[in-house]
Amino acid sequence: MARKELITKDKIGETAFALAKKEGIENVTARKLAAQIGCSTQPIFRVYANMSELYAEIYQKAISNFGNYYENYKSEVDTPFLHLGLAYINYARDESKLFQFLFQSEYRGDRGLFELLNGKTAAVSREINRAAAAGCQNPSSLFMKIWIFIHGCACMVLTGDYDLTEEETIELLEDIYKNCS
C-alpha cells in the first residue's frame, strides 16, 4: 500500500500564499516555507519544479483575492469608477503585501494593469459602460485620468503618505469624474 502524502500541493500553495500575504513575496523562500509547514524542502520541490512555478501559483491566488475583495467591497457610491477606486485604494491599505505583489512587481509579467483590474468580472469594462450610459463622451479617456489618480493614491497608502478620509477621497474622485465627463 502506497504511503499517503502528508504535504500536499494544496498545503504548500495555501501556506505560501499566507506567507506572501503576511510578509511579502520576497520572504517566500523554500526554507521559510518548509519551516512553516514543518517539513524539509524536498516536498516543495517534489510538487514544484522551482520557486518561479510556485510564485506563479501564488500570483493567481492573489488575483483571485483582489477580485473577491473588489466584489465584496461595500460602498454607497453610484458615480462610475468610484467603487473601483475606493476598493483599489483600500486594498492597498488592507492587503499591502499582496497589492505590491500584484500591481508593483515583476511577477506581473506581460499582464497589464487594465487586465488585472478588469478581472474575471469585467469590472473596468462595466464602469466604462456605466460612464457612457451616463453621458460621458469619452469614458476610456476618463478612466485613464481617474486611474492615474487612483493608482497614485494607492501608492501613497503604501508609503504612509495618504491621509485623506474616505469622504475626501470620494469628493476628489467625483470632481475628476465631473470635470472630465
**Which 3-state string (H, E, C) describes 3-49?**
CCCCCCHHHHHHHHHHHHHHHCHHHCCHHHHHHHHCCCCHHHHHHCC
Check pLDDT > 80 for residue 54. yes
The model's pLDDT over 57-100, given as tens digits with 9 standing for 90+, comes to 999 999 999 999 999 999 999 999 999 999 999 999 999 999 99
Distance of alpha carbon 89 from alpha carbon 162, whole angstroms: 10
Proportion of the chain above pLDDT 90, given as a percent? 83
pLDDT score for 117: 87
Q: Is 113 exposed, middle or buried (0-12, 13-18, 19+ CB in 10 A)?
A: middle
pLDDT-derived band at 120 (thresholds 50, 70, 90) equals: confident
For 122, phi then psi, to 5°, come to 55, 45
pLDDT score for 82: 95
pLDDT score for 147: 92
pLDDT score for 1: 52
Distance of alpha carbon 113 from alpha carbon 80, whole angstroms: 18
